[in-house]
Structures are given as C-alpha cells and as structure tokens.
Amino acid sequence: MKRMTESKAFAIQTQLQLALGALLQDSGNKRVDRETAKFDDGSWFEVVAYRVGGRQLRADVNERGPA
C-alpha cells in the first residue's frame, strides 16, 4: 500500500472535517460510532463512522501502535 506524506494526509483530513462540520451544523440527527479491532501483536485499529440521518458520510480508519 502506498503511503501519502503526513502533510498531505493532514490537509485532506482538515478539508474533510470542515465539510463534515458544515453538514453536521445543518442537521440535528447526527451520530458518531467508534469501533476498535485488536490483534495478537498488540496493534489495533480504530474505525470512526460519521452519520447524519442514517446516512454514513465518512469513516476514518486509524492505525494504532502497540497498546
């Protein structure tokens, strides 16, 4: 898998957060779900899903190091 530079990833994440923030301000029916998956080697992933009105707008997968 090709990794993007940290600054590019940050810029993309910032733009997504701004767009999502604008959508969430217009809706009273919002929800954020968080799930984690842990592996035997101590690493884990966190999945964050953002929903408005039952429709998923975005899901972030955050890779985490050993616990």
For 37-56, the pLDDT digits (tens) are 777 777 777 778 877 777 77
This prediction's pTM: 0.41
Which pLDDT score is estimated for 1?
A: 42
Q: What is the pLDDT of residues 13-32, one digit of tens each?
A: 777 777 776 665 655 666 77
* φ/ψ (deg, to 5) at 10: -65, -45
Q: Is the pLDDT of residue 64 over 60?
A: yes
Q: Where are the beta strands (DSSP E) in the chain?
A: 30-38, 44-52, 55-64
Give, as one character, the DSSP assignment of residue 53.
T
Q: Would you state the pLDDT for residue 33? A: 78
13-47: b (≥16 Cβ within 10 Å) or e: eeeeeeeeeeebeeeeeeeeeeeeeeeeeeeeeee
